[in-house]
Amino acid sequence: MLIRKKRSVSWRLWLGGIVAIIVISGAIYGGQRYMQMNNAKKVAATTIAQFPRIDSSTLTLTQVKILATLRAEYAAQPPGTKYSQGASEPWCADFVSWVMKEADTPLSNPNSGSWRIPGTMTLRDYFKEQGRWHAYGDNYSPKTGDIAIYDGNGPNGQHTNFVLQYENGILTTIGGNENGRIRIQRYKLADPLKLIGFGSLPA
């Protein structure tokens, strides 16, 4: 009888430990999700229906070409496979790569040499190698045609898009694969967007 009692107590302790682990894990996950959702709520994004008017008199030829391409693609709203060479995958970086190619300023994938860079972190590495990377917080003022890159904790997750305008602390962007389409949004740069930086255009 004594042996059976010890086994019963041991089994109950083991079960209690498993339950405690599940409860603690759930609390940690719930806390993380709450923080992410709370941060997302703090981002007062405005979706813009019309392509904004941008004064092109001070822009470079490359910026003008990028704007023209973005305007045409925004109006057309094609499927993401147009930009990914037919691959079914998250296509925000594919969109950036395709637009740059069409604007006669193609990127170069550091792994394959292709014009298409499908990964956001590979895109960041490319700009670092080119000496055109500006980390968020280094007082760089983003310009029309720059490429913004975000980590995975912001409202768009791990993401990349183009800067259309930056005026008086307000950032207007256009990106592919935003709710499955090409979308224009406007934010306060000070919002918790989880920006990690900007890739600038060639001088």
- pLDDT tens for residues 165-189? 999 999 999 999 999 999 999 999 8
Q: pLDDT-derived band of residue 203, with 50, 70 and 90 as boundaries?
A: confident
CA atoms within 13 A on the CB side of 21: 6
Token output for 159: 């993401």
Q: Say whether domain 44-199 belongs to CATH 3.90.1720.
A: yes
* Percent of the chain with pLDDT strictly greater than 70: 78
**Domain residues of the chain, as ranges?**
1-42, 44-199
The structure's pTM equals 0.79
Give the CA-trace dihedral at 100, 175, 122, 59, to 10 degrees.
40
pLDDT tens digits, residue range 8-58? 555 565 555 554 454 444 444 444 443 344 444 456 789 999 999 999 999
List alpha helices for the chain, DSSP H: 2-42, 61-76, 92-102, 120-130
